[in-house]
Each structure stands twice: as C-alpha cells, then as structure tokens.
Amino acid sequence: TNTQHQYRSESALGQNPLSCRTLSTRRELYERDFPVYKQPVEVGCFSLDSERRFFNDSRQMRYYVEPDRNPNFNLRDGYRDRFIKRDDSVKERLDHILRWIVANKSKINPTVAAASPRALDVDFVTWRGHLTKLLTTPYETREGWLLAVTRFRGTLYISEVETEAARRERENRTERHEEMMYWGYKFEQYTCADNTHSLPDPGGVVNTNEAFCTVVQTRLADHRLLFSGEVDCRDKDPKAPAAPACYVELKTSAEICTPKQRSNFHRFKLLKWWAQSFLPGVPRVVAGFRDQEGVVVSVETFHISKISHLIKNEYNCWKPTVCMNFCCDFLSFVKRVVTEDSHRVVYLFSWDPYKDVTYSAHRDSQYCFLPHWYVEEMTR
Ligand code: 0WD
Ligand code: CA
C-alpha cells in the first residue's frame, strides 16, 4: 500500500535529511537485512580487585560449576553480614578500558609506522553496556540515556553520563530493591569457583568491586569497534573453545508461573539478555529462576543463537535486525556529527523514550572524560 511505500522510503534521519540534526528511533525504519557483524575476537582482558584496582591480567576469572536443576539457593543469605558493595556514586567512565589500551597499545596498533602514528586502529572505544543500551533503544519505553562522545586522534570514545532520572532512582532505591540487586551477585557465588579444581564457596563474602572484563574487537558494517564487558565466568573444561566462546553469563529472574509472565519474559528480559551477550560473542546465559523469597527454584541454560527462534511466536516482539541496524545508524550519525578532533570537546547525545536522538556540543565542560594521563600517553 501507499503507507508502506512511504515508510520504506522515509529516511531515519530527522524530518529534513539535509540538516541531519536528529535520529529517529522508530522500529519500522530499521527493519532491513541484518548488517555485517563480524565474529568478536578477544584481544585481551583485565581484572578489578576487591578494592577496585586495575590489573592487566585474568586474576579475577572464575569457573562455572553447573548447579542442580532445582537447587534451592537462598539468595538472601549474607546480605547483611557478608556483602561489600561497590560505591556506585563513583563514576569511572572509560578509565579502566583506557588503562588497558595504554598497557596494550601494540596489540591494537599493528600500523605504528603508518601516516598517523599512535592513532588507534579502531573507530569506536566504549563499554559493552553502552552498546547494549543502543541495541535495545528502539524497544525501550522507560529509561532514556545520555552518551558523551569525544573524537581524539581519529577514534570516537563513547562514555555514558548518568541522567537526572537515573540519579534520582539510584539515590532513592528502596531497601527491597537494594537487596534484590544483591541477589544476582549471590547467584554468581553459588555457581562460580575461583579455579578449575575447586568448588563454589557460598559461605564467603560477596564483593562487587571485583570484576573480570574481556576486551573484544569486531566490526559492525563499516564501524570498527573496540569494547570491554564484564564476564561472569568461563567453562572450566580446558578443552572448551577459546574466549569469548567459553564464557558464561549468569542471570537471575523471577520464576515464571503464568502465560503472561512467560510472554513478558520473552518480550523484555530476553531482549536485554540477547543484546548483552550477542555483542561480545558470549554463547550462553545460565538463568536462575527465583521465587518471591529469593530462593532459586530452577536453573535453565539459554543459547544466544537460539533466542531469536524462541521469541518468534510472540506477538509484536523485538527483532535482532532492528537492534543492530539502529546501533549501526546511530554510529554513522555520531561519525557525521562529531567532527572536531579534541579531547577538550564533548558531543552529548541525548535520548528519551518516544523521542528522536538529539545532540549538543560542549567545550572544556564538566562532560570531558578523557583523563590527562591518557591524552599525554597517546600524544607522546
Ligand atoms: O560507571 C559507570 N557509569 C559504568 C561503569 C557504566 C557501565 C559500566 N561500568 C563498568 C564497571 O567498571 C564494570 O566493571 O563496567 C563494567 C561492566 O561493564 P559492562 O559489561 O559494559 O556493563 P553491563 O553489560 O551493563 O553489565 C555487566 C555486569 C552486570 O551484570 P548483569 O548480569 O547485572 O548485567 O557488570 C556489572 C553487573 O554485574 N555492572 C557493573 N559493575 C560495576 N559498575 C556496573 C557498574 N556501573 N554496571 C553493571
Ligand atoms: Ca550477570
């Protein structure tokens, strides 16, 4: 019909394609062929210890120990007396990734002798979590985002800025919500061991400062990406495939009792799980389903490559191609907008549900996020 034709020919870029000031997030604009997304390659990893100190190694790697299918793990255990919580008012921005880059420049810079010495051989540097937010944007109806972008020596760095709404939510969490945030980490403790020949220690302390992060390189259409994401654990079989294929993502979710709950799980939760693990090439998610009292009553493995089939029968459901095409077009939009190459300039991209993406530019502002030590190291 005529309507369909108009949809198809409409540009994703704002009302006036020549001004290119905004980017639409309407789903129907991104329903085209799946873009090229190269198999992500792990180029390194790093660890953050119990005091959030950076190490250029895998000391915080943990090993997956398959639990009973119906385990009865009590996720509330230890919340009061064996929990050290990371201070989430401290904004680390891209600092850990930048430290990794400085320590591993040679690995991502095979062309040191090229025309632009010291420039990184990638278009974008960011956290996996920021890309997850971009992938899910066409389907997000609750939370907007702010992404700060700086072009420095040709590479675009993307770092999230906490929205006012997110800050208010963080500062006004209920006691119940605070405790539920602990449950995910407690589930990790029940299913992860510190080395290949030990067992999980549910009697130990949960410290959310600790993290093991993978650094991967890949390409989305013509965008060369370098990003890092936190990995929960790996397959402990030494014959398991190389990273990231050996990694396992752990999740907890409310037990599914009704068809409505199952439908919501497929439409909202599986979208977030798929986006987060598809990006770095993590092949499976192990989910602990818990009751109202925080007891894990069943455990199920989801293979990322099978999730799109699982959801196909769901009415009005999300589509992986929409997620990837939107992300791709957003990155193209960023490349067009962010033209001034300077660590002192930040372009702030802003989005709220049911709105278009907009941006503003800021020089020498509170939004600057590339640290001096990084700028100096990469300029020398
Ligand atoms: O300060 C900030 N604004 C951010 C810091 C925003 C995003 C990330 N980070 C850093 C932290 O250093 C953290 O170690 O990111 C790391 C995780 O990055 P990611 O993998 O890119 O983030 P994401 O995919 O959103 O989260 C992965 C896991 C989460 O697991 P679940 O299963 O809940 O998705 O990382 C944890 C959490 O366990 N996590 C965080 N840990 C520390 N600080 C944070 C955070 N802000 N966000 C998620
Ligand atoms: Ca997890």
Cα separation, 24 vs 102, whole angstroms: 36
Quick check: pTM over 0.90? yes
Provide the percentage of residues in the chain whose pLDDT is more than 70.
92
- State in Å: Cα 280 to ligand 1 middle: 14
Identify which ligand lies nearest to the alpha carbon of 285. 2
Q: Of 94-108, 146-160, 241-255, 271-285, give the lowest mean pLDDT range.
A: 94-108
Evaluate whether ipTM surpasses 0.90: yes
Provide the percentage of residues in the chain whose pLDDT is more than 90.
90
Q: For residue 106, what pLDDT is reported?
A: 83
In this predicted structure, the answer to whether residue 203 has a pLDDT above a threshold of 70 is yes
How do residues 230-270 score in pLDDT, each as one tens digit? 999 999 999 999 999 999 999 999 999 999 999 999 999 99
How do residues 115-171 score in pLDDT, each as one tens digit? 565 579 999 999 999 999 999 999 999 999 999 999 999 999 999 999 999 999 999
- State in Å: Cα 155 to ligand 2 middle: 29
Cα separation, 195 vs 58, whole angstroms: 12
Q: Which of 34, 118, 137, 133 is nearest to 356 (CA)?
A: 137
SS3 61: coil
- Of 94, 230, 278, 290, the one to substitute when testing ligand 1's pocket (max ligand atoms within 8 A of C-beta) is 230
**Residues near 260 by beta carbon (within 8 Å), at least 6 away in sequence:** none
Shortest-distance Cα residue to atom 37 of ligand 1: 230
